[in-house]
């Protein structure tokens, strides 16, 4: 299955160049015209939306359709409370005021370790309950939240199957990195009956935020 991702689609060109040189050494005006770049109709696929650059829109080979999608979105999951580490540090410092300088030092040194422990617990919590079936449900819900008036709604992703599962071996990624959790495939279905194979990739970053990336089977023109 040939896949074309939305990230790649954002860089795709809506025109190709073609030229013909029958007599490159002896050109007249007509032959030179054949050398000029001409626009050809792009193949069906996801391309940057002319009206909304933050998304891609399906081009059916003749015209733009009402099928649009976002390139990437954050999946739901637990978030770190804003005072998670601060409260621990404040308790340690507060105790140190009464107990002395040595305890203050111990409390301040313990705070980063406590924050790291919280991050590890949050990472484990982010992985609980994750599955390709849940990723498909989240994708449909997030698509509804992103939809604009006039967009055709994505109503379901059927025939979901797991291609890769790294949940059992995943570890919290280093700062600025991401860890691959799941790769899933299914058949996306819109409200007007349009269907198209989709691949969903679930990752998690160093802030314990999960993300869903989407790629589509460019060898399929879809069906209604």
pLDDT tens-digit map of 91-100: 333 333 444 4
pLDDT of 198? 92
Where in the chain are the domains? 3-77+128-217, 84-127
3-state percent breakdown (helix, strand, coil) of the chain, nearest 5: 30, 30, 40
Q: Which two tokens stand for residue 176?
A: 């600025």
Distance CA 79, CA 9 (A): 31
pLDDT tens-digit map of 40-92: 677 887 777 777 766 777 788 888 877 776 655 566 554 433 333 322 222 33
pLDDT tens-digit map of 138-197: 999 988 888 888 888 899 999 999 999 999 999 999 888 999 999 999 999 999 999 999
Nearest Cα residue to 217 out of 198, 190, 191 = 198
Distance CA 30, CA 51 (A): 37
Residues forming beta bridges with residue 188, ordered by sequence position: 157, 196
Is the predicted pLDDT of residue 124 greater than 70, yes or no? yes
């Amino acid at each position: 299955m040939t896949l074309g991702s939305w990230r790649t689609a954002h860089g795709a060109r809506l025109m190709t160049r073609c030229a013909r040189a029958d007599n490159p050494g002896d050109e007249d005006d007509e032959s030179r015209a054949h050398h000029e770049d001409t626009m050809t109709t792009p193949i069906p696929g996801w391309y940057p939306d002319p009206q909304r650059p933050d998304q891609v829109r399906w081009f059916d080979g003749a015209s733009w359709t009402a099928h649009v999608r976002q390139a990437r979105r954050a999946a739901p999951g637990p978030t770190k409370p804003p005072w998670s580490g601060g409260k621990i540090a404040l308790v340690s410092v507060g105790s140190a005021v009464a107990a002395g300088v040595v305890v203050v030092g111990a409390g301040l040194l313990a705070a980063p370790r406590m924050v790291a422990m919280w991050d590890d617990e949050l990472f484990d919590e982010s992985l609980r309950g994750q599955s390709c079936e849940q990723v498909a449900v989240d994708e449909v819900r997030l698509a509804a939240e992103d939809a604009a008036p006039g967009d055709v709604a994505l109503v379901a992703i059927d025939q979901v199957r797991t291609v890769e599962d790294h949940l059992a071996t995943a570890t919290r990624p280093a700062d600025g990195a991401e860890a691959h959790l799941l790769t899933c495939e299914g058949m996306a279905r819109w409200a007007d009956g349009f269907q198209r194979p989709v691949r969903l990739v679930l990752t998690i970053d160093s802030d314990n935020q999960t993300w869903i990336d989407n790629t589509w089977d460019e060898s399929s023109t879809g069906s209604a």
